[in-house]
Amino acid sequence: MATLEKTFALHVPSSTENLSMIRDFVAKIGAMAGLDEREVMKLELAVDEACANVIEHAYGMDHSKEVKVKALLDADKIQIEIVDTGNAFDPGGVRQLNLEELVAQRKNGGLGLRLIKSIMDDVHYQIVPGEKNELRMIKRLKPRAKDPA
Amino acid sequence: MPNAFTVERTEQNGVVILALDGYLDAHTAPQFEKAIQDEHTAGRNQIIVDCQKLTYISSAGLGVFMSFIEEIRAAGGDIKLAGIVPKVYQVFEVLGFPALFDIVDNVPTALTHFADGIRPPE
């Protein structure tokens, strides 16, 4: 059976106000992929965290910038790409502190990244200097029961 | 309102109850932060956060709990979380919050914990 790949895109101004719109967009993709309510929320959370990072850190709350979210859905996976043209930030370079250390330092940095990594099956960050930063995340789908022939 | 979030404040037996309703994310977390800060500044450090109507939380919201807990405990108080629905609880769980925070089923239990001086292990 040929697998149809579907692509969806959402571009929003870089403002935390638009995080809810991004979550709604992702929730619809998750539902379309057959995820249950808890899985949909986790997918929303991973994308919310990634976009909040772009809005706050890459773009420094500059509302004139644009956050681009692209979702690609096929039978095996949901792939989300988040593209920005702001300050590059390599999540791989962040040391993961444990919760006690973060509390002791009154920090919450790194929590979002930890959530993303615990939710998504594959997280890849690519910096194209002077052009763009792209975070690609993949959630693999559990095989669904085959339709009766 | 897609970003709807409210904090409703009540007080019972000297314990402040902050009832959260809606979506706690990077956009709405400053509102929650202010609510906790106001109580702490006023010297009211026995706080229950009622999460029954909290439908979503991201790291920005979790960060508010984390940034205040030490100071509030140092002042002899605590932040107890009550009534978190399973969908939201999974987020607290992923980050190990149950080991650090007193998380209970409902507000009356949280009030009893305050009355009995119960805290999670340090």
DSSP string, A77-111: EEEEEEEE-S----GGGS----HHHHHHTT--TTH
Taking Cα atoms as reference points, which of A5, A129, A113, A102 lies closest to residue A54? A113
Mutate which: B59, B70, B87, vs A, most A CBs within 10 A = B59
Report the pLDDT averaged over residues A37-61. 94
Predicted confidence band at A135 (pLDDT cuts at 50, 70, 90)?
Answer: very high
Who wins on pLDDT, A68 or A145?
A68
Q: Whose CA is closest to A106, among B81, B21, B37? A: B37
How many A×B Cβ pairs under 8 Å? 85
Which pLDDT does position A37 carry in this prediction?
92
pLDDT band at A142 (very low <50, low <70, confident <90, very high): confident
Rounded mean pLDDT of A41-61?
94
Cβ(A58)–Cβ(A84) under 8 Å?
yes
* Residue among A37, A52, A107 whose CB faces B26 most closely: A52
Contact B109, B76 (CB under 8 A): no
Q: What is the pLDDT, as a whole number, of residue B87?
A: 93
Read off the DSSP letter of residue A65. S
Higher per-residue confidence, A50 vs B120: A50
pLDDT in tens, chain B (122 residues): 556 999 999 999 999 999 999 999 999 999 999 999 999 999 999 999 999 999 999 999 999 999 999 999 999 999 999 999 999 999 999 888 999 999 999 999 999 999 998 877 65
Determine contact: B90 vs chain A, CB below 8 A: yes
Answer whether A16 touches B (CB < 8 Å).
yes
Its CATH class, for the domain covering B19-106, is: alpha beta
DSSP A36: -
pLDDT tens digits, residue range A12-21?
Answer: 999 999 999 9
pLDDT, greater one: A106 or B93:
B93
Per-residue pLDDT at A113:
87
| Domains, chain A | 6-140 (3.30.565.10)
User: Which chain B positions have a beta carbon within 8 Å of A108's beta carbon?
Assistant: 59-60, 62-63, 66-67
User: Is B58 close to A102, i.e. CB distance below 8 A?
Assistant: no
Mutate to test the interface with B, among A111, A117, A120 (most CBs of B within 10 A): A111
DSSP state of B83: -
User: Are residues A112 and A94 in contact, defined by beta-carbon separation less than 8 angstroms?
Assistant: no
The residue among A101 and A12 whose pLDDT is bigger is A12
Confidence of residue A117 (pLDDT cuts 50, 70, 90): very high
Mean pLDDT score of chain A: 87
Supply the pLDDT for residue A149.
Answer: 42
**Record: contact A21-B2, CB cut-off 8 A:** yes
Kindly state the helix (H) or strand (E) to which residue B48 belongs, with its residue range. Answer: strand B46-57
B25 neighbors A19 (Cβ within 8 angstroms):
yes
For A60, residues 6+ apart whose C-beta sits below 8 A from its C-beta are A86, A87
Of B23, B66, B100, the CB nearest to A20: B23
